[in-house]
Amino acid sequence: MSSSYTIIVADDHPLFRAALTQAIGAQVEGADVLEAEHLKCLEQQMTNDIDLVLLDLHMPGANGFSGLIYLRTHFPSVPVVVVSGNEQARVIHRAMHFGAAGFIPKSSSMGDIVSAIQIVLNGGQWVPPNLSAADQEMDSEDSKLAAQLSSLTPQQFKVMVMLTEGLLNKQIAYELSVSEATIKAHVTAILRKLGVYSRTQAVIMAGRLRIEHPQDEAVK
């Protein structure tokens, strides 16, 4: 009896998303593939019984590793595989440290991508076979930051990401359809949970989640 899987392809690039969706549907037996072009859409899709998320690190609504940490914190039973144009060993190691079940470079062949997906669906992990060692001295700081971010509620997490984008309280309130007073309360809670005393400090801390990705711009 064959298994059935529900997989989300979360990527804002329509051509890559369509190609990956088609390949999975054709080559992964029993796969039902959903699509998400931004973090809000992905969050809405997570109400389904999801077996795997394929996540682009640079989706709208996310900031570098923030989307990965958000999913691992609020949907811990769902494995997440990062699919990215960034192939730096340091980025791959950090993604795995933040809880990814795999990391697939977008330069991989479709055959390798499907093979990696099947390995993760069977409970394994997958990274590029030629992955080099990377400097891991920041792991303790990454762990501390991930733990602090995991204490944020989903709404607080969204507010924090918008803070890193430079939005004002009234702009965030408009985007989230809540009052400015509610946003102020969220910001106060965020500062407390992150152990900082100002928005600037919170933005600097969250900046650790950013990824320098010049090659991604060429891919995307």
The 10s digit of each residue's pLDDT in 98-120 is: 889 999 998 888 889 989 999 99
Does CATH place domain 5-133 in 3.40.50.2300?
yes
pLDDT for residue 1 is more than 50: no
DSSP H helix total and E strand total for the chain: 11, 5
User: How many whole angstroms separate alpha carbon 220 and alpha carbon 207?
Assistant: 22
Indicate the pLDDT class of residue 215, thresholds 50, 70 and 90.
very low
User: How many whole angstroms separate alpha carbon 168 and alpha carbon 82?
Assistant: 30
- Please tell me whether residue 123 adopts helix, strand or coil conformation: coil
- CA–CA distance from 151 to each of 13, 53, 68, 160, 200 (Å)? 31, 22, 15, 12, 20
Over residues 141-184, the pLDDT tens digits come to: 777 887 888 888 888 988 988 888 888 999 999 988 999 999 99
Q: Report pLDDT for 133.
A: 65
pLDDT for residue 2 is more than 80: no
pLDDT for residue 219 is more than 60: no
Q: Which CATH number fits domain 139-209: 1.10.3720.10, 3.40.50.2300, 1.10.10.10, 3.90.1150.10?
A: 1.10.10.10
Q: Is the pTM for the entire model greater than 0.85?
A: no
- Mean pLDDT score of the chain, rounded to an integer? 84
How is the chain split into domains, by residue range?
A: 5-133, 139-209
Burial of 99 (0-12, 13-18, 19+ CB in 10 A): middle
